[in-house]
Amino acid sequence: APIQPPDLQDCHPPNIPDSAPDLSCCLTSRTGTEIVDFKPPPASAPLRVRPAAHLVDQEHLAKYERAVSLMKQLPDDDPRSFGQQWRVHCAYCDAAYDQVGFPNLDLQIHNCWLFFPWHRFYLYFHERILGKLINDDTFALPFWNWDAPDGMALPAIYANMSSPLYNERRNPAHQPPFTLDLDYSGTDSTIPREQQIDQNLRIMYRQMISSAKKTELFFGQPYRQGDQPDPGAGSVENVPHGPVHVWTGNPSLPNGEDMGNFYSAARDPAFFAHHGNVDRMWYIWNGLRPGNTGFTDADWLDAAFLFYDEDARLVRVRVRDCLDPSALRFTYQDVGLPWLNAKP
């Protein structure tokens, strides 16, 4: 059977390292809150075109900054507040919820076939909340275009200290224009930039093509009701998704906060740009070969989660509802795929 949405009334303190601050990741939940089933936006709704973060223009940046700043000003118990938004990620990754009907069995949406769909919905609602705060139904989150040379550094819009997109808990040595290593494992390589870029492009080819020829290899392993968490991640979730997290966080903090640890990752606005590109990799993979579709298994298609939408309604979503970005009314700026010919 498919994974069921969590019971928000039954939320535990997260399972995070002792060196992390004491915190709750539970979603706002009021007894009796009505749960509505997800409905896609009308086909006539404007298409949100997510831009590459390094190409964002002044006008778009101003909107984005205003939206994030308004989100940060919402009362903390508003499910649309920045504080609640990052906790959603912590809750679904750090054992705040058990699987319904399986006490002591953690609900974990990483390291399995739920990774791509769960994060697609997470960004979908986050983007719509931001858009709503500035009254703009075309607002689109930027993506960190780390698969192309011009995107292989922390996007500068996140590094401006006076911007609401700034976060102080990042690796001070990895500020733009320092070159990103898509396979970062804790030590900075000393190879020249051109060589690092070349290596990154070959990593992209490997993770998107050579190592992603089967559905499970790309999405991750099946994870069904009653299963132990972490059956295994897909190619892109492993690399570069994981290394980019660790590369961004501050290694001198106990858990690589913020980006280097599940519980704190989404406190960094750059998280949403990183996951924009992770989601874009799914979108691109779908178009690479005719066989690159999702699973047909109902335990994947009917797996369900809960999110708050832009009107603070609690929505039940199923994986099958997120498979087509155009039905969700978003797409990605076409910036080319320089790794397509980077066969190792």
- Length of the chain measured in residues: 344
- Residue number, 69 or 221, with CB nearest to ligand C2O: 221
- How many of the other CB atoms lie within 10 Å of CB of 323? 16
- Residue number, 115 or 342, with CB nearest to ligand C2O: 115
Q: State the burial class of residue 324 (Cβ atoms within 10 Å of its Cβ: 0-12, 13-18, 19+).
A: exposed
Give the burial string for 49-83 (b: 16+ CB within 10 Å, else e): ebbbbbebeeeebebbbebbebbeebeeebbbbbb
**Integer Rg of the chain from CA:** 19
Cα separation, 116 vs 122, in Å, equals 10
Q: How far is the CB of 274 from ligand C2O (least distance, A)?
A: 6
- Residue number, 170 or 275, with CB nearest to ligand C2O: 275
**Residue type at 189?**
S
Which residues of this protein are in contact with ligand C2O, per CB under 6 A? 89, 93, 110, 119, 241, 245, 265, 275
Q: How far is the CB of 174 from ligand C2O (least distance, A)?
A: 17
* Those residues with Cβ within 8 angstroms of residue 286's Cβ, 6 or more apart along the chain or in another chain: 292, 293
Q: How far is the CB of 122 from ligand C2O (least distance, A)?
A: 8
Q: How far is the CB of 223 from ligand C2O (least distance, A)?
A: 14
Strand duo 48-50 + 330-332: pairing: parallel
Q: How far is the CB of 139 from ligand C2O (least distance, A)?
A: 22
Q: How far is the CB of 244 from ligand C2O (least distance, A)?
A: 8
- Residue number, 179 or 264, with CB nearest to ligand C2O: 264
Positions marked active-site? 89, 110, 119, 241, 245, 262, 275
